[in-house]
Amino acid sequence: MSEANQDKGIALVSEAVCEQVVGRSEAFTAVENVFAAMAKGTAYNFPVVREAIGHADALYGFKSGFDRDGMVLGLKSGGYWPGNMDKGLTNHQSTVILFDPDTGKLKSLVGGNYLTAVRTAASSAVSIAHLARIDAKVLGMVGAGHQSTFQLRAAVEQRDFEKVVAWNFHPDMLPKLAAVAEELGLPFESVTREELGAQADVIITITSAFESLVKKDWIKPGTHIACMGTDTKGKQEVDADLLAVATVFTDEVAQSISIGEAQHAVASGLIKVEDITPVGAVINGTHPGRTSDDEITLFDGTGVGLQDLAVASVAADLAEEKGLANFINF
């Protein structure tokens, strides 16, 4: 941070301003860069804290890290308040706090709700860009909640998709996803999970399921599957033995085996930790990624703090550049 910036004080970047300044392409670039830095070892996440606070049924925690390449230090704090919907608020609440890596001084406070959705969508989009077959035509969506429309919008920018097929545990949620597909000019079909596997070239799972929704035998050769919903111990979206036949990539191996989709395959001995590759290695060119048209590639997107910090830092810079940040003395 320059002296001039320090004089201005702390930048406050609201949710509305984040939506205004950070689009999908900014998020994609920020997430791709930080995944690359993580794989090189120049950016690292610190241990996650996540606790039930014993009030309002809330889960609260911190995700924190430092990116030496991007010079971004900070944390995302927040969690899940299940009763918020009744109060007209989003259940997931988060705020990103950025610090000056040279001094530790507070630098910016950035709304984290919109950015969480856009960075999570950027994560699966980065995996599709680097791992899916170039000729992928059908996108399969498993899940139709808050994140799903962000996922859909980001994914369709990575390949020339011609159709979206979808399944959701609560079928009444599908029309919202269908409306986005329609807006994007893509035919939308609601299908069974088996049919989804038979048709889709790329699958995104984005649910809060605690047991497998996608059977190994339903997945056709050559599919890329981005498992995005599993971010907690015990959650699961696909068969553990699917990971044994797939080439497995992740944002961060430590999270993948503890709270990600790979937790089950590793715990049951179906794969080893060494079988999981950070997608950043593919971005950096130190891993070839997909090596054949028949290979099944699976991305375990667990969601790391550095993603939040990367997009929040972009939001703070752009907000300041466009005169949209509020500065306060602190």
Active site residues: 76
Does position 231 interact with ligand NAD (CB under 6 A)? The reply is: yes
Q: Which two tokens stand for residue 265?
A: 């395959």
Amino acid at 137: K
Instruction: Kindly report the backbone phi and psi dihedral angles of residue 260, in degrees, each rounded to the nearest multiple of 5, phi listed first.
Output: -95, -175
Q: Which stretch binds ligand NAD (CB under 6 A): 19-27, 29-37, 188-196, 295-303?
A: 295-303
Q: Which stretch binds ligand NAD (CB under 6 A): 13-21, 41-49, 207-215, 322-330?
A: 207-215
**How far apart are CB 3 and ligand NAD at their closest, in Å?**
36
Does position 72 interact with ligand NAD (CB under 6 A)? The reply is: no
Q: Tell me how far apart the alpha carbons of residues 244 and 171 are, in angstroms, rounded to a whole number.
A: 30
Does position 143 interact with ligand NAD (CB under 6 A)? The reply is: yes
Q: Which stretch binds ligand NAD (CB under 6 A): 14-22, 53-61, 98-106, 164-172?
A: 164-172
Q: Which letter, b or e, does each residue of 28-49 get, where b requires 16 or more Cβ atoms within 10 Å of its Cβ?
A: bebbbbbbbbbbbeebbbeebe
Q: Tell me how far apart the alpha carbons of residues 308 and 118 are, in angstroms, rounded to a whole number.
A: 10
C-beta of 209 vs 296, nearer to ligand NAD: 209
Choice from 139, 209, 219, 319 touching ligand NAD (CB under 6 A):
209
Q: Tell me how far apart the alpha carbons of residues 167 and 218 are, in angstroms, rounded to a whole number.
A: 14
C-beta of 147 vs 223, nearer to ligand NAD: 147
Does position 101 interact with ligand NAD (CB under 6 A)? The reply is: no
Instruction: Decide the pairing of beta strands 10-13 and 326-328.
Output: antiparallel
279 with 252: CB under 8 angstroms? no
Does position 229 interact with ligand NAD (CB under 6 A)? The reply is: yes
Count CB-CB contacts under 10 A for residue 235: 19
Does position 302 interact with ligand NAD (CB under 6 A)? The reply is: yes
Write out the residues near ligand NAD by the rule CB under 6 A.
116, 120, 143-148, 168-170, 173, 206-209, 213, 228-229, 231, 301-303
